[in-house]
Structure 1
Amino acid sequence: MELLKLDRVGRHDNFFALGGHSLLAIRMIAQIQARLKIDVNVGEIFTHSTIKDFAQSLKKNDLPVLLPIRRIDRNQPIPLSFAQQRLWFISQIESAGRSYHIPFYLRLQGDLNRNALRWALDTVLARHEALRTTFYVEAGTPFQRIQPWETLNFKISETDLRDHPDPESSVRAVLQREADGRFDLERGPLVRAHLILADNDETLLAVTMHHIVSDGWSMGIFRDEFISLYNAYIRGEQSPLPSLAIQYADYAVWQRHWLEGERLQEQSEYWRIALAGAPSLLQLPTDYPRPAEQSYAGAFRTIFLDGDLTQKLKIVSSRHDTTLFMTLFAAWFLLLSRLAGQEDLVVGTPTANRGRPELDPLIGFFVNTLPVRLDLAGSPTVSDLLKRVKTQILAALRNQDIPFEQMVEVLRPIRSMAHTPLFQVMFAWEQMSQTMSALDGVAHQSGPAIHHTTSKFDLSLHLNESEGMISGGIEYATALFDPAT
């Protein structure tokens, strides 16, 4: 009831029909794990979506005890997580660098307290080791180095546009420059902040992080903690944030131990069977020949589905016992199949990978990518198509613990510098919370107000629901596709 913000929930009520979605499912599983100390896969709530069925599934299954993630000695060499390791190697490719920047801004209107802003930023950086992490190489292996807060000397740059004849276009240019600016993984810092004085009553705080220390969920944490701390300073209060039991470095060490043995073997075997014989390349018709080496240059076209169409999609989803994410994913699969003339497709989708209760409040690079394979042979009906998509997504979620990097090692696909392994097209259903606390004395809004100039894949469909409507867009590789396409 607390997660769904409802006064009453019945035993036979469907979690998703009540407004539940993947983000809330992850948080619900984390709360169950914290209270019952059992290891529950998020896929269970998709399979058993009523309170009664879900409770019975917990009783029937012999679930393993949830072992805590423990703090490690910071004086020992700290390995990278599997996701960090892959991204570290990708970042050595010059053209790939900007593809893994995460820009974010707050547009602030009113009497901004500079001291409160500075204290709030400093406190967030002091609180999260990931934001103070850099990387070094020893004997050919990269390791994490956590810089003490006292020696970080974090600087906030500033641009004054108050007397500029066209401040709005200049604001966009500064935001773009901040988003595209290089990061040095060895020297750091891997987060930067820039104040833009647009006029006497409006200031923008632009924050950019490297993906190797952050992800989309983390940006929500950063935003919420910054607002909470800013308000505490204005009110003359201490930090209201609870202490963190662990940090990202603890997770990185735990992950490598946890994925040993039987768990790794079981999930590796699933992916080996699921992707056996899968096509190595989705043969979409392109406007230009594929370069011998992936360029990562990209652009973005926006998409908007009005409230009426969004509601009809929800009705279809409810009728076929799927989620809106699954229905949209099915439509994306169908479109790609018709464009490529292929019935066997693999499309990637990100998952938050925060099933552990300790990970919920941490900033860091946790997100994992799941390659979902779908067979569209036999001209399936809408009902059959949705069943196939749901089956494949649930199976992937049950085996989501193995990092994408490990999947690639297990499967050993034919590698090419021209495209990414296993899949070249993504579908991202972004369901971060749209609500924000208020800043005392300052009106604000947030967003990633920049033009996309990079693309990690051939095509990536990014969608989210807000205020009863679906919006987002397609990120595409400009080396392959013309904007008119």
Structure 2
Amino acid sequence: MTTTATEPQGVVTDIAPLSPGQERLFHAEFALPDGSWPAPGAPTWLRPIDTAAVRIDGPLDVAALRHAVTALVARQSALRTTFRRRPDGTPVQLVTDRVPDPMSLGALDLAAGQDLPTAMELLRHAPAHLVDPRHDPLFRVHLLRLHQERHVLLLQIHHAVSDGWSIGVLYRDLSALYNAARTGRDAVLPAIPRSFAAHSRQMRAERGGPEEQRQLAYWRRRLAPPLPGLPAQPQADGLSPVDVEPVLVPADLVRGLRETAASSARRGGVAGPFLAALALVLHRAGGERDVRIGMMISNRARPGAEHLIGYFVNTAVIRLHLDPAMTAGDLVAEANTAVTEAIEHQALPIQDLYQDLNGTGALGPGPLYRVTLALNTLRTTSLTLDGLHCQDIDLERRGPRRAPTSIEQRWVLDEHAGHLAGTLTWRTDTATRPGITATLTGLDRALRAVTDPRTTLADITAALPRATPEAR
């Protein structure tokens, strides 16, 4: 399915700068240390393909699915995008009027008698796709047929044109397009007044403008006085050893967190109490009372952006001050306020904030944060295809590896059927497995504790397990 063409397939219909998020991504995971790009086809650390797997039970209409996939690519221009550098070195994204059929493989029959667990195990250990975002298709669909009425749909989308919010958009659009195709009608979907490339162009034009300066002034106040630096442990090759642990927050606890946030002195969503609990765990582990967490934020406040597939995501710094005399209610209210204000000031690219803080001496040596959280509560169901039962399948790769990251803990959680499920990716050179086990146990206890607004932080932290120094 990979093309080796040196030029994009089809006619180029738009050329736009990278979004700030894409800019960060390419700088961190694609560009070489000297800022140049690798030779075409050379391996890079830019994550090649993010894969979602959906088990589909029932009489799947393959023709309708093919029609829906084609219509999805026509609707979402990010799925028809590749990347280049201009002669002056400026990176740009190119949108074409078409791409090679992302579903050209059709339905693949597995070996006779192949069951779902065996198929999934083979998929998990398959070699990663080598995808060059300069010319390869960045969206691909594979349909595996297990039995006449049981299929697995693999949706592979390059991280350069997609974020967590985008997967929810993809699921919504593909479901509506399939259901409409089955009955020969037009799908009812929100209009897309502007493409992702147009939004990227606007974001570039706003860099340094009045609105960015207003938001920068907020973040300067929010992060004052000068921030103490956090210890950084860079690796010589820019790569760090990491491992992955599964994370599950049960539905009853999620309901309790949501009720706690809604009844707080400063109302909010589930992110506030979750961040409060995570801050308590970090405080227990390291003793810091000034806790900073990088929260992934959608950055889709512009009209129409909520209906697009694309890489909009930004990072906001959630700073919480912990005092043992505070109550859980106090901390949740502070966290809700921090999240609300971060959403109101979400458009300032984190790299611009970091550059400003560094330039003014407001940031000590080391990173702004060592822990990040991506909490997606918008995609709560799988595909919704008429007459079929669809269920997401976990394809997360487990086990140690090396990755281009300085982040010590990366929490990624999605809401499914009322519970939060996801992963904790942690650097094995900054923690040990017993320490991470203590972290996960501590998070469960802290999440339950913050639902009682009267409990003091001193009582909560005293009940949390603490990693030994060797485990940190």
Question: How far apart, CA to CA, are the structure 2 residues paired with 1:101 and 1:162?
Answer: 25
The alignment partner of 2:133 has SS state of coil
Against the structure 1 CA distance between its residues 408 and 188, is the aligned structure 2 distance closer, same or farther, given a 3 Å change threshold? farther
What is aligned with 1:34?
A: none
Please state how far the C-alpha of 1:132 moved relative to its aligned partner: 0.7
1:117-144 deviation digits (Å, cap 9, x = unpaired): 2111111111111111101011111011
Match of 1:143 among 92, 101, 106: 92
Q: Is 2:62 the partner of 1:114?
A: yes
Question: How far apart, CA to CA, are the structure 2 residues paired with 1:188 and 1:420?
Answer: 36
Please state how far the C-alpha of 1:370 moved relative to its aligned partner: 0.5
Match of 1:357 among 277, 284, 303: 303
What is aligned with 1:407?
A: 353
1:17-65 deviation digits (Å, cap 9, x = unpaired): xxxxxxxxxxxxxxxxxxxxxxxxxxxxxxxxxxxxxxxxxxxxxxxxx
Which residues in structure 2 correspond to 1:327-346 (within 5 Å)? 327-346=273-292
8 Å CA contact 1:282, 1:423 repeated in 2: no
Question: How far apart, CA to CA, are the structure 1 residues paired with 2:251 and 2:190?
Answer: 39
1:176-235 deviation digits (Å, cap 9, x = unpaired): 537x32321111211122222223331111112122211122111111211222222221
Question: How far apart, CA to CA, are the structure 1 residues paired with 2:64 and 2:19?
Answer: 34
8 Å CA contact 2:293, 2:369 repeated in 1: yes
Against the structure 1 CA distance between its residues 188 and 344, is the aligned structure 2 distance closer, same or farther, given a 3 Å change threshold? same
1:271-327 deviation digits (Å, cap 9, x = unpaired): 2343353233268xxxxx874444355433223344554444445434433433211
Question: How far apart, CA to CA, are the structure 2 residues paired with 1:110 and 1:346?
Answer: 47
8 Å CA contact 2:83, 2:134 repeated in 1: yes
Q: Which moved more, 1:114-123 or 1:326-335?
A: 114-123
The alignment partner of 2:178 has SS state of helix
Partner letter of residue 86 of structure 1? Answer: R
Give the fraction of aligned pairs with identical amino acids, expressed as a percent: 28
Question: How far apart, CA to CA, are the structure 1 residues paired with 2:148 and 2:366?
Answer: 47
Against the structure 1 CA distance between its residues 359 and 313, is the aligned structure 2 distance closer, same or farther, given a 3 Å change threshold? closer
Match of 1:476 among 421, 426, 433: 426
What is aligned with 2:192?
A: 244
Please state how far the C-alpha of 1:249 moved relative to its aligned partner: 0.8
8 Å CA contact 1:196, 1:205 repeated in 2: yes
Question: How far apart, CA to CA, are the structure 2 residues paired with 1:307 and 1:76?
Answer: 44
Listed as ranges, the gaps of 5+ residues in structure 2 are 1-11, 32-42, 437-472
The alignment partner of 1:172 has SS state of helix
Against the structure 1 CA distance between its residues 225 and 393, is the aligned structure 2 distance closer, same or farther, given a 3 Å change threshold? closer
Question: How far apart, CA to CA, are the structure 1 residues paired with 2:95 and 2:415?
Answer: 37
User: TM-score, with normalisation over the residues of structure 1?
Assistant: 0.73
Question: How far apart, CA to CA, are the structure 1 residues paired with 2:109 and 2:359?
Answer: 51
Which residues in structure 2 correspond to 1:81-480 (within 5 Å)? 81-92=19-30, 96-98=45-47, 101-138=49-86, 139-149=88-98, 152-157=100-105, 159-163=108-112, 167-175=116-124, 177=126, 180-241=128-189, 243-276=191-224, 277-281=226-230, 291-295=235-239, 298-321=242-265, 322-323=267-268, 324-377=270-323, 379-412=325-358, 421-435=367-381, 438-452=384-398, 456=405, 457-480=407-430
Please state how far the C-alpha of 1:77 moved relative to its aligned partner: 4.4
What is aligned with 2:9?
A: none
- RMSD value, Cα: 3.1
Partner letter of residue 275 of structure 2? Answer: F
Question: How far apart, CA to CA, are the structure 2 residues paired with 1:263 and 1:349?
Answer: 21
Against the structure 1 CA distance between its residues 464 and 420, is the aligned structure 2 distance closer, same or farther, given a 3 Å change threshold? farther
Listed as ranges, the gaps of 5+ residues in structure 1 are 1-73, 284-288
